[in-house]
Amino acid sequence: MKHRPANTVIVLDFETTGLSPNQGDRAIEIGAVRLEDGQIKDRFQRLMYPGRRISGFIESYTGISNQMLSDAEPASKVMAEFADFIEDFNLVAHNASFDSKFLISELARTDHNSAYLFACSMLIARRLYQDAPNHKLGTLVRFKSLPTDGTFHRALADAEMTTHLWLAMLEDISTRYGIDQADFALMQKLGKTAKHSSHQFLLKHAVTG
């Protein structure tokens, strides 16, 4: 039987042709990290052909060219492989609402289930790091002095930076609130909050239940 650590999450990031699958945008790259008990155990990165040319803006923004995509496998094939990679583990992304809608949209083109639970590192960071200049991923990486190879807006590089941010937040929450180990359920709760609660109240409430 396959070993399944209790505290395993998949941290993922999509590069896409634009902001909205409802407007016809497609994924062009998926990058992800399998994090088991705080250790990176596996990585996944694939380009995928979206069925049409991408804009010059996206080429410039991501560094992914039309030439690179012309040699890539179709999205449906890549997403089927990715579904096998993520199994049924919980998912983490920076601004998870964005990656969630692309995951649902692309998996809908395959016969794979897309009923995953997401936690959003951006929403948690907004509560935890209120003195950060802003809560863009790159800013938070610099703010927390997290590891980076200097690559931004590529799927695996962004997923790895999000992984380090996730680990830093787990540690900071445990240290700040004196709990043994922050887990996915707590982090997901911190990303879904009632309005009009102060951040301090919210964190303490989430920790104490």
Q: Which residues bind DNA (CB under 7 A)?
A: 13-16, 18-20, 22-23, 55-58, 60-62, 94-95, 97-98, 101, 122-123, 126, 134-138, 153, 158, 191-193, 195-196, 199
Closer residue to DNA, CB minimum distance, 6 or 194: 194
Say whether 164 sits in a helix, a strand or coil.
helix
Nearest-CA neighbor of 35 among 82, 108, 85? 85
Q: How far is the CB of 5 from DNA (least distance, A)?
A: 27
Q: How many CB atoms lie within 10 A of CB 88?
A: 11
Q: How far is the CB of 127 from DNA (least distance, A)?
A: 7
Kindly state the greatest CA–CA separation across the chain. Answer: 52
Q: How far is the CB of 8 from DNA (least distance, A)?
A: 23
User: Taking the chain, what is the end-to-end CA distance rounded to the nearest angstrom?
Assistant: 34
Closer residue to DNA, CB minimum distance, 80 or 157: 157
Helical (H) or strand (E) element with 75:
helix 75-86
Q: Supply the DSSP symbol for 46.
A: E
Distances (CA, A) of 86 to 23, 43, 79, 109, 198: 26, 10, 10, 17, 35
Residues 35/10, Cβ–Cβ less than 8 Å: yes
Q: How far is the CB of 122 from DNA (least distance, A)?
A: 5
Closer residue to DNA, CB minimum distance, 181 or 198: 198
* Pair of tokens at residue 100: 């969630």
Distances (CA, A) of 162 to 111, 135, 208: 28, 12, 26
Closer residue to DNA, CB minimum distance, 9 or 17: 17
Closer residue to DNA, CB minimum distance, 59 or 81: 59
Closer residue to DNA, CB minimum distance, 61 or 74: 61
Give me the count of residues in the chain. Answer: 209
Q: How far is the CB of 74 from DNA (least distance, A)?
A: 18
Q: How far is the CB of 190 from DNA (least distance, A)?
A: 8
